[in-house]
Amino acid sequence: MKINRDPNQAPHYFSNNGSVLRTYGDFGVNDSLGRTVFALEIYDEDWEDLTYGVAGFFNFIDSTYYVSRYPSINEEPYLIGTSRDHIIKAIAVMKERRYELFVKDFLLHKSRRPGIDMPYTIGQKVWFRALYSHFWSYIYAIGRTPWLLLTLGVCRILRFIGGYKTYDTPQEFADAHVKPTKLQKVFNYVMTPTFSVFYELYATRTLHNKGVSRFLLRIMRHFFEKTNYVARAMCGDDIDPYVFEIYNPTRKGRWSCRLDATNDRDMQTYFYDRVENNVELGMLWKYTK
């Protein structure tokens, strides 16, 4: 499977500078690292070009890696900064693609702060060590397991109290024009964002100790609805290939959110008959093929 390279074919394409962009709006520049990493995970025939594309976001300056939101030769990358989630996901997928020399070099020369005012958390620092260590994989699990169980319990309680309704498909959610109540707005600030847990799936499945990975993933699967097929598949669930045949994708990243009042994204769906053109559809194809 190859990725689309024609900017006239909506909604996603592989640009000349090595990033995967949208064909509309602001072209998704701020999220281009995350989108390019997703593409690297999906499109096997273009993995080499996409690997170099992802590496282009990592700028080696004064013996330190600074990660930018968008590959640019006109801006100082350390002034741009990017999210920790995107960096973690990028390193995890690069490791899965066996680009080991790059990953190990990054671990030796990473900056202390991925953004201007955003240091790595203690858990993320432990994860960097756990990528190549059984011992640190166990330490990571000891720290994350109580947090995951507590967070899962709090989210379930708040969803029950707040009366959250979960929709089966993105189009049903879009048609309902869901708006959170005043109470739900408060709860939304308290609950851990689903996109954060989704990105953590990448970190968890690349731990050096695969037994620890499987244990944590079985806990994390409960953060996602049964209709979040990609997240559930990443956690080890078997997904019926038929869902790929009937699924119409969105443009806003369905797999990293829930279809309830915590979601402020436009979940309007579109019909695409080419997996090459839509990263969201490509991810479902990967886990159902």
Same-domain pairing of 59 and 153? no
Quick check: is 268 in a domain?
A: yes
Same-domain pairing of 89 and 156? no
Quick check: is 230 in a domain?
A: yes
pLDDT of residue 117: 59
Query: Into how many domains does the chain fold?
Result: 2
pLDDT of residue 78: 43
Please state the three-class secondary structure of 65-119 as a single string: EEECCCCCCCCCHHHHCCCHHHHHHHHHHHHHCCCHHHHHHHHHHECCCCECCEC
pLDDT of residue 44: 84
pLDDT of residue 21: 86
pLDDT of residue 1: 72
Cis omega before residue 249 (within 30°)? no
Same-domain pairing of 160 and 272? yes
pLDDT of residue 75: 54
Same-domain pairing of 2 and 31? yes
Quick check: is 8 in a domain?
A: yes
pLDDT of residue 180: 95
Quick check: is 72 in a domain?
A: yes
Same-domain pairing of 236 and 202? yes
pLDDT of residue 95: 93
Same-domain pairing of 115 and 167? no
The residue range of the domain holding 285 is 134-289
pLDDT of residue 77: 47
Domain boundary among 120, 155, 170: 120
Q: Write the CA distances from 190 to 156, 210, 219, 262, integer angstroms.
A: 12, 31, 20, 11
| Residues of the chain with confidence (pLDDT) below 70 | 10, 72-81, 115-117, 272-274
Residue 137: how many other CB atoms lie within 10 Å: 24
